[in-house]
Amino acid sequence: MKRFKKINNQNGAAMVEFAIVLPLLLILICGVIEFGVMFYDKAVITNASREGARAGITGLGDPEIKQIVLNYCNVNLINLDGNDAFDPNKIFISSDGTDLIVKLEYRYDLLLGSFFGFDNTTISAETVMRME
């Protein structure tokens, strides 16, 4: 009687499985990095509005507040598409006599999102401080 030898020919199976899973892993890792940078920029925008409001309640005028916010944003903002400059026209300062409101809007360009049809998103922050 002949014995049948068990054929175990799985030499390339792991490489094929890895080739199938690799693009999904790369998209996941790039998405985590991109959203991490976006949340970091949200924190920077929030801190910049606080710095502007803090400077404004000490008696500084609108041009000085805008310059403080611009300096803070231009030093700390990160955008993966390379355009880190903050638009000075997106700084809104208002006062009703008792409260000072500093609102910022920042257009964050999604790098990975552009592949899926999401080009950009707007990050905004608003700080209200009482003028005493």
Question: What is the Cα–Cα distance from 113 to 89, expressed in whole angstroms?
Answer: 25
pLDDT of residue 39: 93
The pLDDT-based confidence of 2 (bands split at 50, 70, 90) is low
Model confidence at 99: pLDDT above 90: yes
Strand order in the sheet with 91-95: 91-95, 99-109, 120-130
Percent of the chain with pLDDT over 70: 89
pLDDT at 119 over 90: no
The whole-model pTM stands at 0.80
Torsion of CA 107, 109, 79, 22, to 10 degrees: 150
Show the tokens assigned to 97.
Answer: 């006599």
Average per-residue pLDDT for the chain: 86
pLDDT at 1: 60
Least confident of 11-20, 28-37, 44-53, 77-86: 77-86
Measured between its terminal Cα atoms, the distance across the chain in Å is: 101
Residue 128 has pLDDT above 80, yes or no: yes
